Amino acid sequence: MRLAPVSFIKIVSVILSASLLSACGFHLRGDYSIPEELGTLSLTSYDQYSTFTRMMKSQLRVNEVNVVPPSEDVPNLHIVGEGLRERNLSLYQNTTAAEKELTFTATYRVTIPDVGDKTFSTSVSRSYLENPLTALAKSVERDMIEDEMRQFATDQIIRQMARLRSDIKAGHVLTQEELNSFDEQVNGNSQEIESTE
């Protein structure tokens, strides 16, 4: 009796694992469910050519959002502004900065026709070591950290947009009290369903 090749067994086990994971509703990290009403939207920005705007447009496409030109009857994501702040966390003995913290902040507004608009902000912080003897390498490292922070901010924006489902269902932008009430109602319904099973 001949044994099956090892590569065949690996392929079968990968396919079996993938089918089991997809059957239980598992989603890969980064797979956020944007409401269907935001499946097509326009993207505007204070600076259409900024790195962050380009990254945001790319992130929307990755999440299967159809980006179209602005129109009155199409939801809009408007990047209001972005900023980068730095502060010293520690110093060398000669009082030059040894460790710095960078904070990237982005503010944006989502406008949904017949519902309203809501303004959000998101921020990402990273720290890195500053070494005056390797200034060029540290400059390249800092650029990479800034791009990583921008990319992480686009992920956060996608997650925050997924929270607009309750506003869309209500037909208007919910106040904080209405949002809390909506969350309690949803949690109550899910507990009732669990108790009947």
Interval 101-146: pLDDT, tens: 899 999 999 998 888 888 999 999 998 877 766 666 677 888 899 9
pLDDT band at 59 (very low <50, low <70, confident <90, very high): very high
Residue 168 per-residue DSSP state: H
Q: Where are the domains of the chain?
A: 30-173
Percent over 90 (pLDDT), the chain: 35
Has this prediction a pTM greater than 0.85?
A: no
CATH tag for 30-173 (out of 3.40.50.300, 3.30.200.100, 3.30.160.150, 3.40.50.2300): 3.30.160.150
Between CA 156 and CA 125 the distance in angstroms is 13
Between CA 160 and CA 129 the distance in angstroms is 31
Pull the structure tokens for residue 36: 């269907």
What's the whole-number mean pLDDT along residues 46-71?
Answer: 93
Sign of CA dihedral 61, 66, 70, 73: negative
